[in-house]
Amino acid sequence: MWMSVDRKSAVPMTRQLYGRIREEILSGRLHPGARLPSSRELASRLQISRNVVLEAYDLLYAEGFLAPKQGDGTYVASGAAFTGPARKAPPVVEKVTMGYDCPPGVINFRAGTPNLKMFPTKLWLQMVKEVLLLPPEEMFAYGHPEGRQELRQAICEYVVSQREVVCHPEQIVITAGTTQAIGIACHLLIGKRLDVVLEDPITRDIQLIVKSHGAILHAVPVDSDGMRTAELPLPLNPTFVYATPSHQFPIGGTMPIQRRIELLRYAETTGAFIIEDDYDSEFRFDGPPLSSLHGLHPDRVVYIGTFSKTLCPAIRIGYLILPPQLIGLGRSRKWQSDLHNEVTSQLALARFIRLGHYLRHVTRMRKHYQQKRNDMAVTLTQRFGTRMEILGSATGLHLVARFPGCEFTQHFFAATEAAGARFYPVATHAMKLGTHRDELLLGYGNISSEEIRVGLAILAKHLDHYRRVPAPS
Which one, 176 or 388, has the nearer CB to ligand PLP?
Answer: 176
Which one, 27 or 224, has the nearer CB to ligand PLP?
Answer: 224
Smallest separation, CB 306 to ligand PLP (Å): 3
Which one, 314 or 418, has the nearer CB to ligand PLP?
Answer: 314
Q: Which residue is nearest to ligand PLP (CB)?
A: 177
Query: E-strand spans in 185-294?
Result: 195-200, 216-223, 226-227, 240-243, 273-278
Residue 70 has what DSSP assignment? B
With contact defined as beta carbons under 8 Å apart, do 39 and 57 qualify? yes
Which one, 178 or 393, has the nearer CB to ligand PLP?
Answer: 178
Smallest separation, CB 406 to ligand PLP (Å): 24
Which one, 221 or 313, has the nearer CB to ligand PLP?
Answer: 313
Helix axes 177-189, 204-212, angle to 10 degrees: 40
Smallest separation, CB 210 to ligand PLP (Å): 12
Smallest separation, CB 113 to ligand PLP (Å): 8
Helix axes 327-338, 177-189, angle to 10 degrees: 120
Smallest separation, CB 266 to ligand PLP (Å): 21
Chain residues that interact with ligand PLP, rule: CB under 6 A: 112, 177-179, 203, 244, 249, 277, 279, 306, 308, 313, 318
Which one, 48 or 427, has the nearer CB to ligand PLP?
Answer: 427
Smallest separation, CB 230 to ligand PLP (Å): 23
DSSP, collapsed to helix, strand or coil, labels residue 204 as: helix
Which one, 169 or 177, has the nearer CB to ligand PLP?
Answer: 177
Smallest separation, CB 182 to ligand PLP (Å): 8
Residues composing the chain: 473
CA distance 193 to 189: 8
CB neighbours of residue 431 within 10 Å: 17
DSSP, collapsed to helix, strand or coil, labels residue 172 as: strand
Which one, 273 or 279, has the nearer CB to ligand PLP?
Answer: 279
CB burial class (10 A; 0-12, 13-18, 19+) of residue 252? buried
Asked if the peptide bond before residue 404 counts as cis, ω within 30 degrees of 0, the response is: no
Which one, 308 or 395, has the nearer CB to ligand PLP?
Answer: 308
With contact defined as beta carbons under 8 Å apart, do 276 and 255 qualify? no
Which one, 42 or 290, has the nearer CB to ligand PLP?
Answer: 290
CB neighbours of residue 227 within 10 Å: 28
Query: E-strand spans in 33-137?
Result: 35-36, 74-75, 107-108
CB neighbours of residue 230 within 10 Å: 8
Which one, 66 or 219, has the nearer CB to ligand PLP?
Answer: 219
**Strand order across the beta sheet in which 216-223 lies:** 172-175, 318-321, 301-306, 273-278, 240-243, 195-200, 216-223, 226-227
Smallest separation, CB 320 to ligand PLP (Å): 11
Evaluate the CA torsion angle 429, 304, 280, 255 in order and state its sign: positive
Smallest separation, CB 244 to ligand PLP (Å): 6
What is the identity of the amino acid at 293? L
CB neighbours of residue 96 within 10 Å: 5
Smallest separation, CB 243 to ligand PLP (Å): 10
Smallest separation, CB 70 to ligand PLP (Å): 59
